[in-house]
Structure 1
Amino acid sequence: MRSHREERVMTDSVSRPHIEPGKLFIGGEWAEAFAKGRRDITDPSTGQVITTVAEADAADVDAAVAAGRKAFGTWSQTSGRERARILHRVADVIRRREDELVAVESVDVGKPVSLCRAVDVATAAEIYEYYSGLAQTIQGATRHIPIPSHAYTRREPLGVVGAITPFNFPLILSSSKIAPALAAGNVMVHKPAEDTPLSALLMAEILAEAGVPDGVLNVVTGDGAVAGEALLRHPGIDKIAFTGSTKIGRYAAATAGEGLKPVTMELGGNAAQIVFEDADLDKAIGSAIKAFVFNTGQFCMGGPRLLVHRPLYDTVLEILAGAVAGVPVGDPFDPATVVGPMAAERHLAKVEEYVRIAKEQGGRIVTGGERLDLGGGYYYQPTVIAGLSDDSPVVQEEIFGPVLTVQPFDTEEEAVAMANGTPYGLAAGLQTTDLARAHRVAARLEAGIVWVNDWAMLDPAIPFGGVKQSGYGREYGPEVLESYTKVKSVVIAL
Structure 2
Amino acid sequence: MIVANFINGTTVSADDTSALVDPATGEEFGRAVISRSAEVDAAVRAAEAAFPAWSRTTPGERQLALLRLADLLEANASAVADAEIRETGKIRSVVLDEEIPQCTDQIRFFAGAARALGTAAAGEYIPGATSYQRREAVGVIAQITPWNYPLMMAVWKIAPALAAGNTVVLKPADTTPSSSVLLASLAAQVLPAGVFNVVLGDRDTGRALVEHPVPAMVSLTGSTRAGIEVARSAAATVKRTHLELGGNAPVLVFDDVDVAAAAEGIVGAAFYNAGQDCTAATRVLVHSAVHDEFVAALTKAASAQVPGADFGPLNSKAQLDRVLGLLSRSSATIHCGGKQHGAAGFFLEPTVISGLAQDDELVQEEAFAPVITVQSFGSDDEAIALANGVPQGLASSIWTRDTGRAASLTARLDFGIVWVNTHGLVASEMPHGGFGASGYGKDLSMHGLEDYTRVKHVMIAH
Shorter chain as denominator, the TM-score bin is over 0.9
* Alignment partner of 2:101 out of 105, 116, 122: 122
* Alignment partner of 1:341 out of 284, 303, 313: 313
Q: What one-letter code is carried by the residue in structure 2 that aligns with 1:304?
A: T
Moved more, 133-142 or 68-77: 133-142
Map Cα deviations across residues 264-290 of structure 1 (whole Å, 9 max, x no partner): 110011111011111232331122202
Matched, 1:318 2:289: no
Matched, 1:472 2:440: yes
Rounded Cα–Cα distance in structure 2 between residues aligned with 1:279 and 1:322: 17
Rounded Cα–Cα distance in structure 2 between residues aligned with 1:143 and 1:450: 38
Rounded Cα–Cα distance in structure 2 between residues aligned with 1:257 and 1:423: 22
User: Residue 143 of structure 2 corresponds to which residue in structure 1?
Assistant: 163
- Name the SS of the counterpart of 1:222 in structure 2: coil
User: Residue 176 of structure 1 corresponds to which residue in structure 2?
Assistant: 156
Map Cα deviations across residues 43-94 of structure 1 (whole Å, 9 max, x no partner): 0001111111221011111110110011111110111001101101111111
- Name the SS of the counterpart of 1:152 in structure 2: strand
Contact 2:307 2:341 (8 Å CA) reproduced: no
- Cα distance, 1:139 vs. partner? 5.2
- Cα distance, 1:407 vs. partner? 1.2
Equivalences for residues 54-73 of structure 1 within 5 A: 54-73=33-52
* Alignment partner of 2:64 out of 73, 85, 107: 85
Matched, 1:365 2:334: yes
In structure 1, list runs of 5 or more residues that go unmatched.
Answer: 1-19, 331-336
User: Residue 150 of structure 1 corresponds to which residue in structure 2?
Assistant: 130
**4+ residue runs of structure 1 moved beyond 6 angstroms?**
none
User: Residue 87 of structure 2 corresponds to which residue in structure 1?
Assistant: 108
Matched, 1:197 2:177: yes
Rounded Cα–Cα distance in structure 2 between residues aligned with 1:282 and 1:464: 29
Rounded Cα–Cα distance in structure 2 between residues aligned with 1:59 and 1:429: 46
User: Residue 351 of structure 1 corresponds to which residue in structure 2?
Assistant: 323
Q: How many residues align?
A: 461
User: Residue 131 of structure 1 corresponds to which residue in structure 2?
Assistant: 110
Matched, 1:436 2:415: no
Rounded Cα–Cα distance in structure 2 between residues aligned with 1:143 and 1:306: 52
- Cα distance, 1:254 vs. partner? 0.8
- Cα distance, 1:143 vs. partner? 3.6
Contact 1:329 1:340 (8 Å CA) reproduced: yes
User: Residue 29 of structure 1 corresponds to which residue in structure 2?
Assistant: 10
Structure 2 length-normalised TM: 0.98
Structure 1 length-normalised TM: 0.92
Rounded Cα–Cα distance in structure 1 between residues aligned with 2:101 and 2:413: 30
* Alignment partner of 2:388 out of 420, 428, 434: 420
User: Residue 222 of structure 2 corresponds to which residue in structure 1?
Assistant: 244
Q: What one-letter code is carried by the residue in structure 1 that aligns with 2:94?
A: L
- Cα distance, 1:146 vs. partner? 2.5
Q: Percent identity?
A: 38
Rounded Cα–Cα distance in structure 1 between residues aligned with 2:273 and 2:123: 48
User: Residue 377 of structure 2 corresponds to which residue in structure 1?
Assistant: 409
Equivalences for residues 190-339 of structure 1 within 5 A: 190-209=170-189, 211-224=190-203, 226-330=204-308, 337-339=309-311
Q: What one-letter code is carried by the residue in structure 2 that aligns with 1:199?
A: S
User: Residue 53 of structure 1 corresponds to which residue in structure 2?
Assistant: 32
- Cα distance, 1:140 vs. partner? 4.4
Contact 1:139 1:154 (8 Å CA) reproduced: no
Contact 1:357 1:394 (8 Å CA) reproduced: no
Rounded Cα–Cα distance in structure 2 between residues aligned with 1:122 and 1:369: 33
Contact 1:291 1:455 (8 Å CA) reproduced: yes
Q: What one-letter code is carried by the residue in structure 1 that aligns with 2:208?
A: A
- Name the SS of the counterpart of 1:354 in structure 2: helix
Q: What one-letter code is carried by the residue in structure 1 that aligns with 2:181?
A: L
Rounded Cα–Cα distance in structure 2 between residues aligned with 1:391 and 1:140: 46
